[in-house]
């Protein structure tokens, strides 16, 4: 190929490549922008049952999960403690168990924490007794002694070794407890005494603990001394992991869960953290070990409207990726009937969207359209100029040996 033809093709490519880049910039989606998760999700299952890892991986980047709160952390330590008893590794598990147990007492309302307190402090007592950790065993025995229900036989046999009677000496001066707002529940160690304002028998600050709690407020913990007045001010509970732990502990889609969610949505700080929607889902079958791909139940709560967006829906059995897509569609309000169905009652079918008709054109269409009919007018002008340029150069190459100078302007 001659030098002149090389110049022709080089000029052609130099004109066409910018046009191609311009067209791509107009129609290419912004795929490099990371999409934000559509909704915050809550795994609603028994506390010891964790979200299956394959499903968690499939929802990564699609749904946002809040870190586990003290209830779920305590449940995880119960599982770890039982495994440590079997594998003779109590010394390794005991520090994490003690930390989770105290957080359970300090942060979680007593009525909500009681079932988990019994399980966690029971395992803690067994582990501490096995390795001879007397302070941990005494602490666990003190907490378990306030339980109203009978303890299992293995715990009942160990408890007397670590329970101590009333210390000898004169009674300590009582403590006056007041709260703001008034009427908060006053608890000594794990025993509920009444509501503030209240006189409480004095105690030892290194052993006895005073708790004050009220629904919707943060639980307050103070060492219990003697001969003093405690005025404790409570503030609203806004720690999201703790609040969502309580949501997950209630039956999925129930009125009790809706009532708690309505209280949460009333807090501006909590509503901002959660966003507009909250997807609550969990296994359909509550018993047994979790299985990846099993049927799920799900329901979406609208924090702005403070109400459920629809009935409880069932996500069919399938691979985790398909279930993640179904959950995402449910959160977006575009759930496909093939993968998501209402449970137990079938929701009324959504009205079909009516496509807007395009304005009628005065000229009748022949029904045949070019695939590039929407190309911009200036693209045709540039393309025509390029075609004319190539034609002229080819004619010059064919019939003339003289030098040709071509100037192209926009």
Mean pLDDT across the chain: 78
Chain segment 62-101, per-residue pLDDT in tens: 888 888 899 999 999 999 999 999 999 999 999 999 999 9
For residue 29, give Cα distances in angstroms to 36, 62, 123, 372, 400: 16, 19, 55, 19, 48
Token pair recorded at residue 245? 């732990």
Q: What is the pLDDT of residue 369?
A: 45
pLDDT band at 134 (very low <50, low <70, confident <90, very high): very high
> How much is the average pLDDT of 378-397?
59
Token pair recorded at residue 146? 């306030």
Q: What is the pLDDT of residue 344?
A: 53
**236: phi then psi, degrees, rounded to nearest 5:** -60, 145
Instruction: Please give the torsion angle defined by the CA atoms of residues 272, 273, 278 and 284, in that order, rounded to the nearest 10 degrees.
Output: -160
Token pair recorded at residue 336? 């496909």
Q: Can you list the alpha helix ranges (DSSP code H) found in 60-205?
A: 70-87, 90-107, 110-131, 134-144, 153-162
**Which residue(s) pair with 195 in the sheet?**
185
> How much is the average pLDDT of 13-24?
48
Alpha-carbon distance 219 to 236, whole Å?
9
Token pair recorded at residue 215? 């629904």
Chain segment 331-345, per-residue pLDDT in tens: 887 655 445 666 654
**Which residue(s) pair with 40 in the sheet?**
64, 278
Is the pLDDT at 117 greater than 50? The verdict is yes
Quick check: pTM over 0.85?
Answer: no
Is the pLDDT at 362 greater than 50? The verdict is no
pLDDT band at 29 (very low <50, low <70, confident <90, very high): very low
Q: What is the pLDDT of residue 299?
A: 93
For residue 252, give Cα distances in angstroms to 43, 290, 312, 329: 10, 16, 8, 19
Alpha-carbon distance 224 to 205, whole Å?
5
For residue 323, give Cα distances in angstroms to 238, 272, 300, 312, 383: 31, 27, 15, 16, 49
Judge whether 320 and 55 are in contact, CB under 8 Å.
yes
């Amino acid at each position: 190929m001659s030098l002149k033809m090389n110049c022709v093709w080089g000029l052609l490519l130099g004109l066409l490549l910018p046009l191609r880049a311009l067209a791509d910039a107009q129609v290419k989606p912004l795929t490099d922008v990371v999409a934000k998760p559509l909704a915050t999700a809550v795994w609603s299952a028994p506390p010891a049952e964790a979200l299956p890892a394959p499903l968690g991986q499939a929802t990564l980047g699609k749904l946002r999960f809040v870190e586990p709160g003290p209830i779920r952390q305590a449940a995880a330590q119960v599982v770890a403690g039982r495994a440590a008893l079997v594998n003779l590794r109590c010394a390794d598990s005991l520090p994490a168990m003690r930390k989770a147990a105290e957080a359970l007492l300090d942060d979680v309302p007593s009525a909500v924490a009681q079932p988990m307190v019994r399980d966690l402090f029971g395992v803690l007592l067994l582990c501490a007794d096995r390795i001879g950790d007397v302070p941990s065993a005494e602490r666990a025995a003190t907490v378990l002694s306030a339980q109203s229900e009978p303890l299992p036989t293995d715990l009942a046999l160990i408890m007397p070794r670590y329970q101590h009677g009333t210390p000898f000496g004169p009674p300590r001066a009582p403590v006056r407890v007041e709260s703001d707002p008034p009427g908060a529940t006053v608890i000594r160690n794990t025993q509920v005494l009444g509501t503030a304002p209240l006189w409480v028998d004095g105690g030892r600050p290194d052993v006895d603990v005073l708790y004050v709690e009220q629904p919707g407020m943060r639980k307050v913990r103070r060492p219990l001394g003697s001969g003093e007045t405690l005025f404790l001010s409570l503030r609203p509970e806004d720690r999201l992991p703790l609040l969502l732990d309580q949501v997950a502990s209630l039956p999925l889609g129930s009125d009790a869960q809706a009532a708690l969610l309505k209280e949460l949505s009333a807090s501006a700080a909590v509503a901002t953290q959660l966003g507009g929607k909250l997807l609550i889902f969990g296994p359909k079958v509550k018993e047994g070990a979790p299985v990846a791909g099993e049927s799920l139940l799900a329901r979406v709560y609208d924090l702005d409207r403070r109400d459920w967006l629809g009935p409880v829906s069932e996500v069919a059995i399938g691979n985790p990726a398909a279930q993640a897509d179904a959950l995402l569609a449910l959160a977006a309000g575009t759930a496909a009937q093939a993968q998501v169905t209402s449970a137990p009652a079938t929701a009324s079918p959504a009205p079909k969207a009516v496509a807007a008709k395009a304005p009628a054109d005065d000229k009748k269409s022949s029904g045949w359209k070019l695939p590039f009919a929407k190309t911009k007018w200036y693209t045709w002008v540039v393309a025509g100029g390029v075609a004319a340029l190539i034609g002229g150069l080819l004619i010059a190459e064919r019939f003339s040996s003289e030098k040709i100078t071509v100037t192209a302007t926009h």
